[in-house]
Structure 1
Amino acid sequence: MAGQSRKWMIVVATLWIQAFTGTNFDFSAYSSALKVAMGISQVELNYLATASDLGKLFGWSSGLALLYLPLPVVLFIAAGTGLVSYSLQWLVVTSQISLPYTAVFLLCLLAGCSICWFNTVCFVLCIRNFPINRSVALSLSISFNGVSAALYSLMASSLSSITTSPSVYLLLNATVPLIVSTVALPPILLQPSEDLIELSPRKASHDTHRFLILHILGFFTGLYLLFLNSVSTDSSIASVILAGAIILLILPLLVPGVIFAREWAQKNIYSSFRIEVPDTPPLQSLIFNDSDELNMPLLTGKTTLTKGLFGSKICLKGFWSWFNDIVIERKKLAMLGEEYSAWSLVAQPDFWLYYTAYFCGATVGLVYSNNLGQIAESLNLDSDLTMLLAVYSACSFFGRLLSATADFLTGYYIYFYSNFILAIIISS
């Protein structure tokens, strides 16, 4: 049981890492200053914004690094890469050094790549520690990446009494991820071994309820940032609001704290009341049902009984059975938790569905966020840029958090519902 509290500390650590490493979302806050300092056109500025996103094309290098390096080392390589990239950009914006356009382009590319390295670390931690509820853990972790811009805008506002230069965002982008990585290091070093992570289906359902609690806490965190960020014009007020936001990010520690307290009580207080189970095989199989959900097919037959948080649901025959046979059963991933080669993944329809959805959906949002500073400047709303950035960040967070609903529903209905929901969201 010792590993149960530690694996939830891993979740909290990934939430912290994601919340403070979405540094590409605040590009619009300092883009105008970068444009003036370098004397470049709007088109050239757009290319720099694109470079930050293109850096994610080299995110595969993080997976390659994990084959040869420990995970904490990969984490600090990501932090060091961001530190170098954003520090040099800060020196350019503050006119302390002069770099050619190509060099700044490569720095933006490097910054985008560092974000992918952070994401890979969080993904690996979630998958290792939650093999059954990996999709819920991943969606929760990814959603907190959306609050980065709101948190950085609060930090910049709290420092407004010292400096009002937009270059402070670059300085924060360089240093904060390194600090957060250091804070998150102890849980990563103490992550439980694989034999302590494995759960029975009953205990896995308890994990689902705990994830639901974390999603609710995340929802209130988003509301807090959305409604209070707009009043953070004064540095003292912004500091108070920032402190409240940090407290909300610390609150998820209650989950591993309660689990640890329960483990301690069971070990030290209630151990004398432990009921010994006889060695009778039928009785043991009744009490300890350790069926492995990872080896169960995602889809079975034409009439499937799926169970989840909201009870049982019998999938009807007819059209849905035909759809299952023709569209899903062919070229689908057979088992959860099974590893596949890159070629096998590329051959899956789900891969191309996700690729198209991300290319046509999230990319459009990135174009908007990267040009938010220019939009505010054209509308003479320069003073409201921090508020606009915070609102965009909070809405991005809510969109990511609400998309996790599909991860909860896929356990109760049928596998293709998650893809169906994804298609509806993108088309809207």
Structure 2
Amino acid sequence: MQVFLICLVAGCSICWFNTVCFVLCIRSFSSSNRPLALSLSISFNGLSAAFYTLFANALSPFSPSVYLLLNAIVPLVVSLVALPAILLCHPHDGHLHVVPKHDKHIFLGLYLLAFITGIYLVIFGSFNTTNSTAWVVLTGAMVLLALPLIIPASSSCSHVDTHDPEPTAQLNHDDSKKPLLLNNNHSTESNAMIQKTVEQPMQDCCLGTILEKGRMLVLCEEHSAKKLIQCVDFWLYYIAYFCGATVGLVYSNNLGQIAQSFHRESQLTMLLAVYSSCSFFGRLLSALPDFLHRKVSFARTGWLAAALVPMPMAFFLMWKLHDVNTLVAGTALIGLSSGFIFAAAVSVTSELFGPNSIGMNHNILITNIPLGSLLYGQIAALVYDANGLKMSVIDNHNGMIDTMVVCMGPKCYSTTFFVWGCITFLGLVSSIILFLRTRTAYSAANGQQVINTTAKFRVDRTP
């Protein structure tokens, strides 16, 4: 009961903390830089396990309880340290705003530092070190984690621009005082785009009906919870997430048992390092649409669909081939794919269903994670138990005999990989349909940005 209550409190804390961070990014950055900030913050989530491992190895490498102590202390200390900087750097003057071009260089520097930090933690975090060496490695990691503070500090938190503000770069400075959950009956319109959803006439063919009926033509419409669950695009998005990133998460949770059944217990640490590092770099790659938007005009939902392609491929490969190289390659592909989706999903939710409602709408979306974990974990357990053998084990603490099922060999997860592959293929199909339904809205948004940029250029050139 005590463990259950601790897990319950921790789960609620994590959900609240993530929601606040997402909302803070949405409200503190302009629409052009918002996805970059979200992607960067979510990317560092993928490094937390490696960082905590370094910290634990430096303090007490043979004490599992040190992880609980670190989880209780580190988030609180970091939050208290970061709070003054967040409050001081939040501008309240309507004449002060960020300059998108200036910010792009800052974010590029931050992403380079994040990439270097990820490489450092992946390389040195996987080594078994002595206590003194662990402190050296930990110090290096802390320096790398502190370096990103130098880049924003080198520029002014409030940059004064004498030119007219760019429409897509303005910050809504009243947002910081809004509640996390808004009453959408009085929700405000997005600064970037007009909000509307149109009903298209019924098409003759079934495919035309699926692609056209009720699709969005303009982004950033604020959706209440009632309106959200009545939206076809939301359920396509929900299925894509439920049958995509959530499957990758369940795979990572079962990776220990998968390695054991393949007689690869000694390589479990390596497999976990491969998954976590690829997940981190996948999260970083989710920023590509924003860095390449001037050269590659492609809807973010299209990038989401492209990110889902490797996942069914990986599961079908592991279903057919049972060697260790395929297992490592499949783990890497699943990590990249799920990491990209985890990071891109917040921006997609904001763009499709409104930035002011992100706190509520994204939490509705991620209800698929516990549901998927239960369903996909149960599928894996049923296949594992059906192919395993019952064994009697004596508990050394109380001397009681317990019965457990142990399964060894590819048969333990072969059927599971096939089922997971079919499920992720369904997610891929759903994401492709979502892309086809929303590409018009993204094209309209890109066209509006071009018009705004051209108009501003003409005004600036006027003598």
| TM-score clears 0.5 | yes
- SS of corresponding position for 2:244: helix
Q: Residue 138 and residue 198 in structure 1: after superposition, are their counterparts in 2 closer, same or farther (change >3 A)?
A: farther
- SS of corresponding position for 2:93: helix
Q: Which residue number in structure 1 is paired with residue 144 of structure 2?
A: 248
1:289 and 2:164 aligned = yes
Q: Give per-residue Cα distances to partners, 1:29-77, cap 9 Å, x unaligned.
A: xxxxxxxxxxxxxxxxxxxxxxxxxxxxxxxxxxxxxxxxxxxxxxxxx
Q: Which residue number in structure 2 is paired with residue 346 of structure 1?
A: 229
Q: Residue 206 and residue 180 in structure 1: after superposition, are their counterparts in 2 closer, same or farther (change >3 A)?
A: same
One-letter amino acid of the structure 2 residue matched with residue 140 of structure 1? L
State how far apart, in whole Å, the 1-side matches of 2:122 and 2:133 are. Answer: 15
- SS of corresponding position for 1:190: helix
- SS of corresponding position for 1:195: coil
State how far apart, in whole Å, the 2-side matches of 1:198 and 1:325 are. Answer: 47
1:113 CA displacement = 2.2
Contact map agreement 2:122 2:277 (CA 8 A) in 1: yes
Contact map agreement 1:295 1:335 (CA 8 A) in 2: no
- SS of corresponding position for 1:164: coil
Q: Which residue among 293, 296, 307 is the counterpart of 1:425?
A: 307
Contact map agreement 1:229 1:387 (CA 8 A) in 2: no
TM-score w.r.t. the length of structure 2 is 0.52
Q: Which residue among 218, 221, 240 is the counterpart of 1:334?
A: 218
State how far apart, in whole Å, the 2-side matches of 1:328 and 1:238 are. Answer: 58
Aligned length: 278
Q: Which residue among 235, 255, 264 is the counterpart of 2:131?
A: 235
Percent identity, aligned pairs only, is 55
One-letter amino acid of the structure 2 residue matched with residue 231 of structure 1? F
State how far apart, in whole Å, the 1-side matches of 2:239 and 2:130 are. Answer: 43
TM-score w.r.t. the length of structure 1 is 0.56
The answer to which of 177-186 and 105-114 deviates more is 105-114
Q: Residue 291 and residue 260 in structure 1: after superposition, are their counterparts in 2 closer, same or farther (change >3 A)?
A: closer
- SS of corresponding position for 2:126: helix
- SS of corresponding position for 2:165: coil
Q: Residue 116 and residue 325 in structure 1: after superposition, are their counterparts in 2 closer, same or farther (change >3 A)?
A: same
Contact map agreement 1:135 1:407 (CA 8 A) in 2: yes
Q: Which residue among 70, 85, 91 is the counterpart of 1:187?
A: 85
- SS of corresponding position for 1:351: helix
1:244 CA displacement = 1.0
- SS of corresponding position for 1:260: coil
Q: Which residue number in structure 2 is paired with residue 72 of structure 1?
A: none
Question: 5 Å matches for 1:26-425?
Answer: 100=1, 103-132=2-31, 133-159=33-59, 162=60, 164-196=62-94, 199=97, 203-260=99-156, 288-293=163-168, 295-297=191-193, 327=211, 331-332=215-216, 334-336=218-220, 339-375=222-258, 388-410=271-293, 413-414=296-297, 417-425=299-307
Contact map agreement 1:148 1:393 (CA 8 A) in 2: no
Contact map agreement 1:150 1:391 (CA 8 A) in 2: no
Q: Residue 408 and residue 194 in structure 1: after superposition, are their counterparts in 2 closer, same or farther (change >3 A)?
A: farther
1:183 CA displacement = 1.7
Contact map agreement 2:47 2:280 (CA 8 A) in 1: yes
Q: Residue 330 and residue 290 in structure 1: after superposition, are their counterparts in 2 closer, same or farther (change >3 A)?
A: farther
Contact map agreement 2:52 2:67 (CA 8 A) in 1: yes
The answer to which of 239-248 and 163-172 deviates more is 163-172
State how far apart, in whole Å, the 1-side matches of 2:63 and 2:257 are. Answer: 16
1:171 CA displacement = 2.4
1:376 CA displacement = 5.5
State how far apart, in whole Å, the 1-side matches of 2:65 and 2:271 are. Answer: 18
The answer to which of 349-358 and 384-393 deviates more is 384-393
State how far apart, in whole Å, the 1-side matches of 2:96 and 2:230 are. Answer: 30
Stretches of structure 2 lacking an aligned partner (at least 5 in a row): 169-189, 196-206, 311-463
1:390 CA displacement = 4.0
Q: Give per-residue Cα distances to partners, 1:265-293, cap 9 Å, x unaligned.
A: x9xxxxxxx9xxxxxxxxxxxx7233422
One-letter amino acid of the structure 2 residue matched with residue 208 of structure 1? K
State how far apart, in whole Å, the 1-side matches of 2:105 and 2:210 are. Answer: 34
State how far apart, in whole Å, the 2-side matches of 1:328 and 1:130 are. Answer: 33
The answer to which of 127-136 and 141-150 deviates more is 127-136
Contact map agreement 1:139 1:401 (CA 8 A) in 2: yes
1:249 CA displacement = 0.9
Contact map agreement 2:96 2:158 (CA 8 A) in 1: no
One-letter amino acid of the structure 1 residue matched with residue 122 of structure 2? L
One-letter amino acid of the structure 1 residue matched with residue 251 of structure 2? Y
Stretches of structure 1 lacking an aligned partner (at least 5 in a row): 1-99, 267-273, 275-286, 300-322
What RMSD, in angstroms, separates the aligned Cα atoms of the two structures?
A: 3.7
1:352 CA displacement = 3.0
1:295 CA displacement = 4.0
